[in-house]
Each structure stands twice: as C-alpha cells, then as structure tokens.
Structure 1
C-alpha cells in the first residue's frame, strides 16, 4: 500500500494517573493538554479535550493505546480523532507506537473527506508529550 503524509501531530500531556495491578495489567490514563498538527492539507491545534486510556498488558511486553481527542483547524473546524494501537514496552517505558487513526467531522464542512479516511501512524513519546506522523492511502 502506498501512503502519503496527512500531518505530523504533537500532543502535550499531563502527568499520568496510574491504576496498577488490574486483572488486565496497569492502566495509565494520560490527559491531553494541548498541542499542534500540520500537514499538506490541514493544520491547527490539539485541544485540551481528551486522553489516552493506555494499558500496559499484564505480560509487560506491549501497551494498548486508546486515544480520543479533538483537533481544531486553523480555519475553525473541529475534528474528532480516535486511534487505537500498540506500543512496545522497554526499560524506559513505551516506545515504537503504531496506531490507526479515524476521524469524524461535519459532513458539510471543508474536511468532510476525513470521515472516509483510515489513517496509519507511527510515533514516539518525548518529554511532556508524544509525536506521531500520520499517513493516509494514496
């Protein structure tokens, strides 16, 4: 499959809330506090509107990503973005993030085409946030 860049997104995050030793593993709830995104067809801000309901599996080998957030384009459109995926777990924590974002926005707006997109993303955590490169099929 040939992919083209949709945007790069950097989300700032709050300190995590930990719920250790659940039957499924350790739940790590990470609230999104802001950020930005920019690509060839759209750019804007990540609103302080969502969180990652991350789960470090009980075997400790991988983490399950479960994010919901809102993007606001520079021209004022709101886009609901959700994604799930996996993260490798190493000695210093999660890395090697792989996700599958989908979008929901007004069917009458400029970005209605996003409602039909299945995106793919890779990312890495950084100090106080996470950055993803998001791609769509050509």
Structure 2
C-alpha cells in the first residue's frame, strides 16, 4: 500500500452554529461556503452548501462528519464525505477555538475521504479511498488528501 498525492483542499466555512449538548456530546454545525482543491489528477472548486455535522466529546475530541459537493475544472460534479477526528492539549484547542493561528503539528486532525460521481472521467474516484492530514484556521479547513493505492 502506498499514499499517492490526490489534492490539497481549502474548504471555506461559516461561523460555527452551536446546537448544544446532545446524548453524544456538544453538537455543532459548520456550513461550507466555498473553496478550492488542486492536485495532480483533481482540481476545481468547493461548492457552497454542505456542512460539517460535528460532535465535541467530553474529553475535547471533535468527531468530524462532512458532506459537500465539488466541481472539477472540467465541469464534473463530485460528492465528497469525510470523517475523522481532531484533538490535542486543552490549551492548544482553546487557542484554535479562539481563531488564533495554531501550528497543525500541535494537534491531531486526520480525515478519511470518500468520493462519489457518475461522470465517466472520474469514475476511478468511486473506487478510491483517501486519507488526509488537516489544519483548522479561523474560517477554513485545509487538508492534504492522499489516495490509498
């Protein structure tokens, strides 16, 4: 098994909507408002609409659950879903929550990515699993995705 660079994603976000404490943890929804992605075989824009339906657990770990749509440079539409975790020392996570710049090496933020499309040019994505290392800024998530080959 190898990791093949897939694309760098910059996903722009609305402010966090706090839904409150649920049986699973503190539920938050972060709407996706746009962005871009660029890689060796995959590039285009992140379309507005979709979100991260996130849960922050008692220990401070966030469970990530995103679903959104991509449009490639040549007009194909792709569905992407990611799931993952973000956690780190309490002081680091507090700085991140305050919107301060934080070196992504100070916390753990990893994703599993799945794609779906009916466009013949990108059917290979339906059979591709990807993993990513991510970083959170005040208004975006940036991640480097790699196809598992």
Instruction: Select the structure that is richer in strand.
Output: 1
1:96 aligns with 2:95: no
Deviates more, 1:37-46 or 1:12-21: 12-21
Q: Is the 8 A contact 2:96 2:137 kept in 1?
A: no
Q: Report the TM-score, using the length of structure 2 for normalisation.
A: 0.86
Map 1:18-97 onto structure 2 (within 5 A).
Answer: 18-57=18-57, 59-89=58-88, 90-93=93-96, 95-97=107-109
What is the total number of aligned residue pairs between the two structures?
Answer: 136
CA apart distance, 1:16: 0.9
Q: Report the TM-score, using the length of structure 1 for normalisation.
A: 0.92
Which SS does the other structure have where 1:92 is aligned?
A: helix
1:79/1:137 Cα in 2 relative to 1: closer, same or farther (>3 Å)? same
CA RMSD of aligned residues (A): 1.4
Number of the residue aligned with 1:109: 120
Gaps of 5+ in 2: 98-106
Q: Is the 8 A contact 2:96 2:136 kept in 1?
A: no
Which SS does the other structure have where 2:126 is aligned?
A: helix
